[in-house]
Structure 1
């Protein structure tokens, strides 16, 4: 009996792992749609409606190619030609991998400066507006000294991009910072990295922040949303509030069996059972940038408690390197983090749409008051044209 048990149990576990891996391989790089959104192609904005404003939501672009061949930047150029000066590009943080913009002399400085110049050029050649947010990598991956690292990037952007409100929130403050994009459409920017940063983070008038107590942030955010219930509100931050990907505690079977691939993709050392300890730790307790970490969890809980009071909101973040849409209590939550990197995203759950592909979301605001979100991804055969993979009225 013991012999049968020792044979049958491992066989069952192995069979389950193989079946799960086969399922993952089937839907990876394929779009997932909630059943009610399967026929999204049949719906589109009214032909008589005029586009008033369009917002390209570009997350985690910190590893784009700088030689003019980057497919996402080519896709952005096509969007720019379509909307002309009626658009706004929002970079959702992690603008420079691996550690933001270091001081001159650092071995990463030259490459970071070239990449940042590439992003700035994509805005300078465009008659619309460009806005940068900061993410954990821009804050030295959340470590001590991240504040100065972020300040260095902010000053560089402001120096080379002569536009007002080009780096938000200013001076590394938590926010919320509001900007009227067009009549009826308000942008609210939150510095989500402030809440999870391990090192020093600014607050108080001595650092240019309008208040000295973080509780005032939540009071101001609630008042801002309450005053603007008559219009559409787009809230932008680096960290998502819903996610079916790694920072939301979702891992592949491969990551359970080969946990060392988290350090490098070539470290294919099989560690069954023991390998699951790392994913379970990330899911239950979390690293500093995971939803399950106490700081992230506290921030997310406080924000959602406020956002759930309203139903005219769209929240967008990056952080996870994929494309996701969630519809929760009348509000819409986007993850638009595949500007330069890709990572696994799990289908189903609360998500209405998920896809592991390079691209970005677009928010279109029309003269008839309708707001539509679009998701465009790059294609190998025609990278400058891209492919529309999801569209929905919100």
Structure 2
């Protein structure tokens, strides 16, 4: 009897696993749309002449090809021609894989410098503006010594672009820093890596930061949003606040059965049951870069508590290597991290759109107050890429009660 029950259990487990894997294969690299957004292809944006400003959200571009063949950079060139002076290229961190910009003499220095020079050239040749943020890889993958690593990258970019606002927040500080991109459009940049970084990180006037206590950051962030309730606000950071992917605790069946593929894609050693330990650990407790880690969780809770008070915000991040859109309490949360790598993203949940493909989101702000979101991806059918999602996400600019507590 025991053998029979064990056999039935194993068969059921195998069938369930096989079915789940088959389901994943069906929608991997295929877009997911919320039911109400099916038919988005029939939506049309306002005329180009009405464009006030366009923002390209370029996340995790740290592994782009430097030989002129990178397909994503070709898409960026198309967008640059469309937007012209009314455009901002926003690099959402992880600008250099694997460990940011190392010291001179390091074996990683030459390839890192070549890739960073390419990104800098993209900005220099652009009629609009370019702004870099830092991510966990730019901070030496979050390890001790990351502060010096990110300062090295910041100095390198500033020197070559000769623009005080090309790398924000300054000095590796938590922020927030703001830029008025156009009338009615404010960009607010925060350094989410600061909150999860191990080892030294700057705070206080001696290190070029305006606050002696991190609580002052949250007060300043709330005050900045409160004073700008009358206009559209784009908050940019590296870490997402909603995600259906790895850093949000979502794993594939393959990662449960073949967990060693996380270390190397060819390590296909089946470890059923035991292989689930690692995914469950990442989901429940998390590494430093995961949403479930206590530091990340605390940061996320505080930021959302503040932003949920307002209804004029788009929050854009990278970190997970895919494209995702969430709409929560009147605000919009984006993951635009597939600039040079792609990874599994789960459909459904709170997401309205997800896609595992190389590409980036574009935000277009128009004179009539409309804000349009567009997902542009690399395509085998067209060298100019394909638009895989379009949506009018116009924020509702209404007075809200004045709240000072954080």
The TM-score normalised by the length of structure 1 is 0.99
1:130-156 Cα offsets, whole Å, 9 max, x none, are 000000000000001000000000000
Post-superposition shift, 1:107? 0.7
* Matched residue, 1:325: 325
Aligned equivalents of 2:3, 2:188: Cα separation in 1: 63
Q: Residues 204-257 of structure 1: CA distance to partner in whole angstroms, max 9, x if unpaired?
A: 000110110000000000000000000000000000000000000000000000
Deviations, residues 76-118 of structure 1 (Å, cap 9, x unaligned)? 0000011111100000000000000000000100000000001
Distance 2:302 2:126 in 1: 37
Range with greater deviation from structure 2 (40-49 or 198-207): 40-49
User: Using the alignment, how far apart are the partners of 1:87 and 1:260 within structure 2?
Assistant: 42
User: Which residue of structure 2 aligns with residue 227 of structure 1?
Assistant: 227
2:100–2:138 CA contact under 8 A, matched in 1: yes
Paired residue secondary structure (1:41): helix
Q: Which residue of 1 aligns with 2:312?
A: 312
Q: Does 1:391 align with 2:390?
A: yes
How many angstroms apart in 1 are the aligned matches of 2:84 and 2:9?
62
After superposition, give the CA deviation of every residue in 1:340-388 in whole Å (9 maximum; x if it has no partner): 00100000000000000000000101111111111100112333x1100
The Cα of 1:292 is off from its aligned counterpart by: 0.2
Matches within 5 A, 1:320-359: 320-359=320-359
CA distance in 1 between partners of 2:82 and 2:103 (Å): 38
Matched, 1:149 2:149: yes
Cα distance in 2 for partners of 1:154, 1:48 equals 34
Shift of residue 44, structure 1, vs aligned partner? 2.0
Q: Tell me the SS of whatever aligns to 1:118.
A: helix
CA distance in 2, matches of 1:276, 1:182: 49
Hey, what does 1:217 align to over in structure 2? 217
- Secondary structure of the structure 2 residue equivalent to 1:315: strand
2:272 is the alignment partner of 1:272: yes
- 1-structure distance, mates of 2:6, 2:387: 51
Unpaired stretches in structure 1, ≥5 consecutive residues? none
Residue 82 (structure 2) aligns with: 82
Once residues 123 and 255 of structure 1 are traced to their aligned partners in structure 2, the CA distance between those partners, rounded to angstroms, is 38
Q: Mapping of 1:11-160 within 5 angstroms?
A: 11-47=11-47, 50-160=50-160
Count of aligned residue pairs for this structure pair: 393
Shift of 1:46: 3.0
Q: Is 1:187 paired with 2:187?
A: yes
- Tell me if the contact between 2:58 and 2:337 (Cα under 8 Å) persists in the aligned partners: yes
Q: Distance in 2 between matches of 1:347 and 1:48?
A: 32
Which deviations, in whole Å up to 9, do the C-alpha atoms of 1:50-85 show, x marking residues without a partner?
001000000000000000000110000000011111
Give the RMSD, CA atoms, in angstroms: 0.8
Counterpart CA distance in 1 for 2:172 and 2:163 is: 18
Deviation at 1:48, TM superposition (A): 8.0
Q: Partners of 1:62 and 1:358 in 2: how far apart?
A: 13
8 Å CA contact 1:49–1:367 kept in 2: the answer is no
What does residue range 220-299 of structure 1 map to in structure 2 within 5 Å? 220-299=220-299
TM-score, structure 2 as length reference: 0.96
The equivalent of 2:201 in structure 1 is 201
2:170 counterpart of 1:170: yes
* Distance 1:273-1:38 versus aligned 2 partners, 3 A rule: same
CA contact (8 A) 2:52 2:367 kept: yes
Displacement of 1:49 in angstroms is 6.1
Contact 2:336 2:361 in 1 (8 A): yes
Q: Secondary structure at the match of 1:363?
A: strand
**Secondary structure class of the residue paired with 1:345:** coil
